[in-house]
Structure 1
């Protein structure tokens, strides 16, 4: 069985609304809070089946209010819009980073399909 990469550093950038996460295999991802929020692993967002998944809108300015470790396998992200359900395990976070471009494009296409225009079409600049 292949060893799952584990985070060695997680840092929230409040002003730019990014989460930086570095893994022990050398991978490093900067994930926008909006992206993390709309791809929350919670049943509230994902549903119990793909047909029940909820398309999140209006999350352009969401930020992370707090992040808490859950054992040695996940974090609970608490967003400033009150959303706090769903555990982001290491594999899920890694895949959000690895497949960011495809997942973000799929999200934008779903928004376009319902005629929703994001308030801020450009992502904020990442802090260093």
Structure 2
């Protein structure tokens, strides 16, 4: 079974959240930070579970652009320069419906690694 395709995609710039709306009335808001740390790119996920790289310091990341890739995915362009990996409709829906569990797992990974969501130094946004 494939995931539904959103009928509405909207980025709330102030809140730094991507909203996905579906035909059945369901709506999900995913923070840019959450999307960044769960990027489907090889740079983040590696080429297997043991090569994934824990993303730290992404608390203030935002999106600077969103482009649709065919009929199956979005490419998210983050303001920290990261723009690899395609977010398929299936992957976005999975991130949306499992957000609480995935976020809790991410926070646990950070704690286990003694790492933080806070960036090192002063967060600067490219102009």
Q: Flag whether TM exceeds 0.5 (same fold).
A: yes
Q: Kindly tell me the number of residue pairs found equivalent between the two proteins.
A: 119
**2:26 is aligned with 1:15:** no
Corresponding residue for residue 42 of structure 1: 41
Name the CA distance, whole Å, in 2 between partners of 1:4 and 1:110.
Answer: 27
Name the CA distance, whole Å, in 2 between partners of 1:92 and 1:63.
Answer: 19
8 A Cα contact 1:34 1:61, kept in partner: yes
8 A Cα contact 2:6 2:89, kept in partner: yes
Equivalent residue runs for 1:28-39 within 5 Å: 28-39=27-38
8 A Cα contact 1:5 1:25, kept in partner: no
Matched position secondary structure for 2:110:
helix
Corresponding residue for residue 76 of structure 1: 75
Equivalent residue runs for 1:1-128 within 5 Å: 2-119=1-118
Residues 8-66 of structure 1, C-alpha deviations (whole Å, 9 max, x = no match): 00001111110000123432110010000000000110011111100000100000010
8 A Cα contact 2:11 2:19, kept in partner: yes
Q: Unaligned regions of 5+ residues in structure 1, if any?
A: 121-128
Matched position secondary structure for 1:7:
coil
TM-score, scaled relative to structure 2 = 0.89
TM-score, scaled relative to structure 1 = 0.88
Q: Unaligned regions of 5+ residues in structure 2, if any?
A: 120-127
